[in-house]
Amino acid sequence: MDILKLLSRSRKKDNKVSSGTGNNLPSAGTSENPQLFHDPIPASRGQKRKRNAGETEKNETTSEVLDFFAPPATKVKIKNTIEPASALQLPKNTQDVATLLEDEECRQILRSHRLKATLLTSSKLPEKKIKKSNKSKKDKPKKSKLGNVRNKELHPQPLTAFNTLRTTYGISKRLGENLAAQGYKLPTEVQMGSLPLLLQSETALSKSPEELSVSSSKIDLLAVAPTGSGKTLAFLIPVINSIIQRRRTSTEKGLHELEAVVVAPTKELAAQIVNEAKKLSLGTGVKVVEMRKCMRVLATNTEEIHAEDCEEESGGEDEQSRLTGANKASEQSSVKTNILVATPGLLLSAISKGKLATVRTLVLDEADVLLDELFRDQTCGIWESCINPDLRVTLWSATMGSNIETLAASIIESRWNKLGLEPSSLVRLIVGLKDSAIPNITHRLVYAATEPGKLLALRQLLHPTSSSEEASQSLRPPFLVFTQTIPRAKALFSELLYDIPAEAGGSTRIAVLHSELSDPARALIMTRFRNGEIWILITTDILSRGVDFRGINGVVNYDVPNSGAAYIHRVGRTGRAGRSGGVAVTFYTKDDIPYIKSIAQIIAASEKQAGKPASESSMQKWLLDSLPTPSKEVKKKLKKYGVEARRGGLGEAKEGVEAKKGKGRMQISSKSGYERKLENNRKGAIKGSQRRAQLAEGDSGGDGEDGVTAEEGEFEGLDD
Ligand SMILES: Nc1ncnc2c1ncn2[C@@H]1O[C@H](COP(=O)(O)OP(=O)(O)OP(=O)(O)O)[C@@H](O)[C@H]1O
């Protein structure tokens, strides 16, 4: 069964793809329950939630329409729906809602959803009190170099339903309505754990007496939660709400203040965050702007800060400028905003030497990459310029090395000291197993032996032959294909360009996206992929983090990722918001064997999290044991430059030594090594005969220098 032919047969007029097959695919619609974990609570512990807990994964969902990029609220019929553990807690009326859960109940829900909150640093917590209140040795807080206590487990109130955001945590009515309008029903784990803490830490910790002293101080949060688990919503709701609440109490001037900055590593992610924020802040008067190249962030005489655009906004005059009549004399249009979303380099250069004095929330999305070597100086520069004493920092990612955690904690502490501030509490929230891939997708690690083998294997995924086993191994579009470098992405694109049948849209169904493209070209490809017009998108790691294409059915790692973290983020583009059926295929060759152990271990851990018995795991123990463990040095090099043989781009052999080393093996080409060898031999023979002819000419008095030029010119001609 060739899925591309099948899809082309059932293609709708509107250019989107529709098929009667594949109910259990991410593109088949939404998952009714976006939560990844709802472990049963042992009978001895729970009272209400033990019933039916853990059975939710068996819920059967059927979809009427196969819509690749369905919005959250789609026509999904639920058969035999069993309420998830947390849903059973849904309050029936406002009074119930305002009732907080008892400490033991909080602990059970947190455990059931694999949520772990830990106080990392705080000089607020009185030591004596903690020691007294700790029951076991395990809970005993350790002394920290960074604060008075370290690693004390907290048990905040979990958010059991979105409606309690308004009744218990007092979020703005309009914000609550916007949330409901988007069709979100149940909070995801990261939302359950972080929203109460960020919205009202006093309330969130009020039922745990020993934790009261934490709640009285400001909380900075470091959240590590699986890919596609709704971290964007988790950081945007408190940001938007705090702006609305401050407006209620402050004077007119506060309206124009830049109050929050969200930093993300790529333009695509920044644009996506702006889009989400705009939907949430509809009708609230809160303004969100994406930083663009021509903008400057400046402090006016009155210390009011706004982003200034050098071009007219496409949507006409900015609403607030119109209202205030600001900058009418200026030829440049002024964009005043409350929330600015930016990539680190762009923002830092826009701030210049100024300070972000009014910014009270700094959000670092994909914080581990923002604080890693590549962006560290820029991110720290932005952090340093946020001098407001009330600044709250939240850091988010699906992966977070302990070095990043330590760095974040030390930056926070040095800020306290430098600005003479009262210390805040840094809380770490972990959902599930730290640094692991989502459990709701299928991982396949495929040995392709050589580079041409990978191309063959990819084509096999696209066009499986008739055998039913192979057909079941096929990959349904839309899917993403990741390569190590831009030249390799381009080369793979030209190889696959004509692989999609003309009747299915042909070459228009495949595209390549990388950082060498212009911003409008990148944006257009993103829109077409989101609209379901592009089915196969070849890209580099530029799209590996944060980007949310709701209904992606699969991810192909054509080239192995540079690190375990890169694998987690790449494969996390599928299986978003609890959707099941996504597939992640990773090809590896002989050259990759020294590097793939960490990926194999991540797959094994993900399958274990999904409850697969070890005997059924695709990563058998013998395989894990036989793979070599790369040294720290090798891992570091790999992370920075990728697999050596592919570093030069296409991995094409130039000549001489490189060719002898076999570098041409890494070329992306459908020609076999034998064919390429024959071609090279032919070229060599032509070159040799030209050289002999020149030598003969030289013997008969010809100009040697001219001869070389002529030789090169002719060679290029023949090469074509
Ligand atoms: N409570 C919810 N219920 C249903 N869908 C949700 C919920 N919260 C978020 N989503 C959806 O889940 C998808 C993934 O969300 P988001 O992009 O915020 O994930 P993320 O955790 O930031 O992922 P990544 O680590 O890849 O950046 C989005 O399409 C979003 O609309």
Tokens linked to 99 = 């009732």
Number of alpha carbons in the 13 Å side-chain half-sphere of residue 720: 5
CA-nearest residue for atom 12, ligand 1, is 577
Considering only residues 389 and 674, tell me which one the structure prediction assigns the higher pLDDT. Answer: 389
Determine the distance separating the centroid of ligand 1 and the alpha carbon of 230, expressed in angstroms: 3
Q: Distance between CA atoms of 646 and 631, rounded to whole angstroms?
A: 20
CA atoms of 717 and 719, how far apart (whole Å): 5
Q: What pLDDT is attached to residue 72?
A: 45
- CA–centroid distance, residue 550 to ligand 1 (Å): 9
Of the listed ranges 507-511, 648-652, 707-711, the one predicted with least confidence: 707-711
Q: How many CB atoms lie within 10 A of CB 650?
A: 19
* CB of 227 shorter than 6 A to ligand 1: yes
Give the ipTM. 0.99
- What φ, ψ does residue 631 adopt, rounded to 5°? -70, 165
Mean of the pLDDT values across residues 515-529?
Answer: 95
Res. 4: pLDDT tops 60: no
**Helix, coil or strand: residue 17:** coil
At 514, list the tokens.
């990388």
CATH superfamily to which 441-646 belongs: P-loop containing nucleotide triphosphate hydrolases (3.40.50.300)
Q: At what angle do helices 673-699 and 704-719 cross, to 10 degrees?
A: 160
User: Which numbered atom of ligand 1 lies nearest the CA of 233?
Assistant: 18
Q: Which of 25-34, 71-80, 210-219 has the lowest mean pLDDT?
A: 71-80
Whole-number pLDDT of residue 286: 95
Q: Where does the pLDDT of residue 151 fall: very low under 50, low under 70, confident under 90, or very high at 90 and above?
A: confident
Q: Give the model's pLDDT for residue 257.
A: 86
Tell me the best of 178, 400, 548 to mutate to test the pocket of ligand 1, counting ligand atoms within 8 Å of each CB and taking the most.
548
pLDDT tens-digit profile of 242-255?
Answer: 999 998 877 655 56
Cβ of 69 closer than 6 Å to ligand 1, yes or no, is: no
The architecture (CATH level 2) of 103-124+143-431 comes to: 3-Layer(aba) Sandwich (3.40)
pLDDT at 31: 67
User: Measured in angstroms, how far is the CA atom of residue 577 from the centroid of ligand 1?
Assistant: 5
Using a 6 Å cutoff on CB, does residue 573 contact ligand 1? no
* Model confidence pLDDT, tens digit, residues 429-441: 999 988 899 999 9
Alpha helices in 621-703 (DSSP H): 621-626, 632-641, 657-661, 673-699
State the Rg of the chain over Cα: 28
Between residues 409 and 124, the one the model is more confident about: 409
Distances (CA, A) of 422 to 147, 175, 218, 390, 545: 12, 31, 9, 10, 35
Domain positions in the chain: 103-124+143-431, 441-646, 674-719
* DSSP 8-class letter at 631: P
Mean of per-residue pLDDT scores for the chain: 77
Distance 576 CA to ligand 1 centre (A): 7
Residue nearest to atom 3 of ligand 1 (CA): 184
At residue 498 the predicted structure's pLDDT band, cuts being 50, 70 and 90, is: confident
How far is CA 329 from each of CA 297, 321, 333, 637, rounded to the nearest angstrom? 19, 12, 9, 54
- Report the C-alpha gap between 492 and 537 in whole angstroms: 11
Compute the average pLDDT of residues 539-545. 96
Burial of residue 653, with CB atoms counted within 10 A of its CB: 0-12 exposed, 13-18 middle, 19 or more buried: buried
Q: What is the pLDDT of residues 44-100, one digit of tens each?
A: 444 444 444 444 433 433 333 334 444 444 333 333 333 343 333 334 444 444 578
- 289 Cα–ligand 1 center, Å: 21
Dist CA 540 CA 359 (whole Å): 33
Outline where DSSP puts E strands in 163-225: 219-224
Strand runs (DSSP E) across 3-136, as ranges? 60-63, 76-79, 115-121
Q: How confident is the model at residue 512 (pLDDT cuts 50, 70, 90)?
A: very high
Question: Could you tell me the distance, in angstroms and rounded to a whole number, from the CA of residue 580 to the centre of ligand 1?
Answer: 14
Q: Atom 25 (ligand 1): residue with closest C-alpha?
A: 227
Query: Looking at residue 706, what is its pLDDT?
Result: 35
Q: Between the ranges 208-217, 471-480, 549-558, 669-678, where is the mean pLDDT highest?
A: 549-558
What share of the chain in percent tops pLDDT 70? 68
CB of residue 432 inside a 6 A radius of ligand 1: no
pTM: 0.79
What is the average pLDDT across 486-502?
91
Q: How confident is the model at residue 352 (pLDDT cuts 50, 70, 90)?
A: confident
Rounded Cα gap, residues 709 and 120, in angstroms = 68
Ligand 1 proximity of 581 Cβ (cutoff 6 Å): no
Q: From the CA of 187, how far away is ligand 1's center (Å)?
A: 10
Tell me the per-residue pLDDT of 406-423, one tens digit each, with 9 for 90 and over: 999 999 988 888 888 877
CB of 551 shorter than 6 A to ligand 1: no
pLDDT at position 438 is 93
Which atom, in ligand 1's list, is nearest to the CA of 162? 1
pLDDT computed for residue 71 by the predictor: 46
Residue 671: what pLDDT? 62
Ligand 1 centroid, distance to 234 Cα (angstroms): 9
Which atom belonging to ligand 1 lies closest to the Cα atom of 186? 1
Most confident of 98-112, 577-591, 648-662: 577-591
Listed range (367-376, 480-489, 639-648) with the worst mean pLDDT: 639-648
Given a cut of 70, whether residue 374 has pLDDT beyond it is yes
Query: Tokens 């001869």 identify what position?
Result: 707
Give the pLDDT confidence score for residue 703 in this predicted structure.
39
Coil/strand/helix, residue 123: coil
Low-confidence winner among 173-177, 643-647, 702-706 (lowest mean pLDDT): 702-706
CB 540 near ligand 1, within 6 Å: no
Ligand 1, from 31, 431, 570, 576: best to mutate by most atoms within 8 Å of Cβ? 576
Percentage, residues of the chain above pLDDT 90: 45
**Cβ(439) – ligand 1 distance below 6 Å:** no
Does 158 score more than 60 pLDDT?
Answer: yes
Domains 103-124+143-431 and 441-646 share a fold: yes
- pLDDT at 514 exceeding the cut of 90: yes
Cβ neighbourhood burial of 562 (10 Å; 0-12, 13-18, 19+): buried
How many Å apart are CA 526 and CA 533, to the nearest integer? 10
Q: CA dihedral defined by 162, 167, 170, 174, rounded to 10 degrees?
A: 60
Pick from 361, 443, 432, 441: which is nearest to 399 by CA? 432
Ligand 1: centre distance to CA 325 (Å): 38
Compare 368 and 90 and report the one with higher pLDDT: 368
What are the residues whose beta carbons fall under 8 Å from the beta carbon of 610, sequence distance 6 or more?
A: 439, 440
Q: Is the CB of 84 under 6 A from ligand 1?
A: no
Over 80: is that where the pLDDT of 5 sits?
no
Q: Is the CB of 72 under 6 A from ligand 1?
A: yes
What does the pLDDT read at residue 27? 75
DSSP 435-495: T---TTEEEEEEEEESHHHHHHHHHHHHS--S-HHHHHT--PSSEEEE-SSHHHHHHHHHH
Instruction: Report yes or no: 232 and 280 within 8 Å, Cβ to Cβ.
Output: no
Q: Is 444 exposed, middle or buried (CB count within 10 Å of its CB: 0-12, 13-18, 19+)? A: middle
* 102 vs 139: which has the higher pLDDT: 102
pLDDT of residue 253: 58
By most ligand atoms within 8 Å of CB, the mutation choice from 229, 431, 579 for ligand 1 is: 229
Q: What share of the chain is helix, strand, coil (3-state, %, to 5)?
A: 45, 15, 40
Least confident of 66-70, 160-164, 329-333, 551-555: 66-70
Q: How far is the CA of 236 from the centre of ligand 1 (A)?
A: 12
Cα–Cα distance between 704 and 697 in angstroms, integer? 9
Query: pLDDT: is 83 or 43 the higher one?
Result: 43
Q: Is the C-beta atom of 577 inside 6 A of ligand 1?
A: yes
- State whether the beta carbon of 546 lies less than 6 angstroms from ligand 1: yes
